[in-house]
Amino acid sequence: MNQNAIASETEVTETLSDLPFYNEIECGDSADLLRQIPDDRVDLVITSPPYFQQREYHGGGIGNEATLDDYIATLLNIFRECVRIIKPTGNIIFNMGDKYDNSSLLLIPYRFAIAATEQCDVTLVNNITWVKTNPTPRQFKRRLVSSTEPFFHFVKSRHYQYYLDEFLKSEKIGKIKRDCPQNTNVGQRYFSLIAQSDLNSRQKEMAYTALENVIQEVKDGKIEGFRMKIRGIHSEPFGGQEGGRKIQLDKNGFTIIRIHGNPLKKDAIVTPVESVKNCPHPAIYPVQIIEEFLHLLTKPGNIVLDPFVGSGSTAVAAIKQQRVYIGFDISQEYCQFARERLQNLTHQLKLW
Ligand SMILES: C[S@@+](CC[C@H](N)C(=O)[O-])C[C@H]1O[C@@H](n2cnc3c(N)ncnc32)[C@H](O)[C@@H]1O
First to last CA, the chain: 25
CA of 236 to the centre of ligand 1 (A): 60
Regarding the beta carbon of 329 and ligand 1, being less than 6 Å apart is answered: yes
Around Cβ 236, how many Cβ atoms within 10 Å? 13
Provide the whole-model pTM: 0.79
Q: Point out the ligand 1 atom lying closest to the alpha carbon of residue 58.
A: 25
**Whole-angstrom distance, CA of residue 209 vs CA of residue 196:** 16
Determine the pLDDT at residue 180. Answer: 44
**How long a stretch of residues is the chain?**
352
* CA separation, residue 256 to residues 114, 213, 262 (Å): 46, 11, 19
In this predicted model, what pLDDT tens digit does every residue of 288-324 receive, in sequence order? 999 999 999 999 999 999 999 999 999 999 999 999 9
**Whole-angstrom distance, CA of residue 32 vs CA of residue 49:** 16
Regarding the beta carbon of 50 and ligand 1, being less than 6 Å apart is answered: yes
The structural architecture, per CATH, of the domain 9-177+265-351 is: 3-Layer(aba) Sandwich (3.40)
Residues 6+ apart with CB under 8 A from 171: 177, 178
Q: Point out the ligand 1 atom lying closest to the alpha carbon of residue 284.
A: 8
% helix / strand / coil in the chain, to the nearest 5?
35, 20, 45
Question: What are the extents of the domains in the chain?
Answer: 9-177+265-351, 189-259
In this predicted model, what pLDDT tens digit does every residue of 219-275 receive, in sequence order? 887 887 899 999 999 887 666 666 788 889 999 999 999 988 777 799 999 999 988
In this predicted model, what pLDDT tens digit does every residue of 99-142 receive, in sequence order? 999 999 999 999 999 999 999 999 999 999 999 999 988 889 99
**Whole-angstrom distance, CA of residue 128 vs CA of residue 150:** 6
